[in-house]
Amino acid sequence: MTDIGVRKIAGHIGAEVTGIQAGPSLTADHVRAVRNALLEHRVIFLRDQHHLDDAGQAGFAERFGDLTTAHPIVSGLNSDERIREVNAQRPGGKASFWHTDVTFVDRMPAITVLRAVTLPPYGGDTTWANTVAAYETLPAEFRAFADTLWALHTTAFGNDEHLGGPSARDHAPDKKASPFPLFETEHPVVRVHPETRERALLLGGFVKRILGVSASASAQLYARLQQHVIRLENTVRWRWAPGDLAVWDNRTTQHYAIDDYGDLPRVMRRVTTSGDLAVATDGRTSRAVAGDASRYVHA
């Protein structure tokens, strides 16, 4: 097996992996090495993957699990419904708010693979946060309280009750009312990772409210927990270069695409693998409230 290098790039999240040519023909040993690095570092980066096209990216992602379709509410490329084009010059193409991918469905993706296609000459970095480290650094009593909480995640960005903040609402082309089909899911605020058994905070910009408490308490709880997730100590920032590939564990991270490049073009390709129902610390699982995501879960 070719020697694989793993170099940490921040204290609590993120590593650059070398010695890998991403694609569908990875050996089982390489797949195992990449998965292990991913589980340990939450997000990994592979430089100089210029050989990849859409099919190669999808084939690489498929080595880590069944693929979803591109998105429950945004269509993929005409040539391959498993691939979403994230184009900054189209509505919804700037994910400039903290979020975990597609938490408004009951089975959110497990792994996301993002490839740089067109980059602006400056700006356009992406930042990730480690939601396991965030949970583990909460005070013990607050951790125990968070273990009991549930939250409603939604596509209804325009609702004034939505806690994701103005950045999340601005993500919708119509800022007064979301034009997207309605999906809503109740998730535990603390989920248990299906592979590592670690506990992670499940929040982000799709949260509408914390359940079982007043509106004011919901807002305060969300703000305190979310701000703890995105403390700089929990984050890593990646400056994209042509040929870059980022792979992250969507079950233990949030991310934010920084919008600091004006109207310049920025095009990425995204593929995700199917995930499981989130499991709370007491064993209960996520529950869909609105919308049928069954077509999305498996491509």
Task: List, by residue number, the catalytic residues.
Answer: 99, 101, 255, 270
The dihedrals phi and psi of 140, each to the nearest 5 degrees, come to -55, -45
Q: Sheet containing 126-130: which strands, arranged edge to edge? A: 235-238, 126-130, 253-257
DSSP 205: T
Q: Rounded to an integer, what distance in angstroms lies between the CA atom of residue 80 and that of residue 121?
A: 28
Point out which residues pair with 86 in neighbouring strands.
268
Q: Rounded to an integer, what distance in angstroms lies between the CA atom of residue 289 and that of residue 150?
A: 13
Phi-psi region of 214 (alpha: psi -120 to 50; beta: other; left: phi over 0): beta
DSSP 234: G
* CB of 43 closer than 8 Å to CB of 56: no
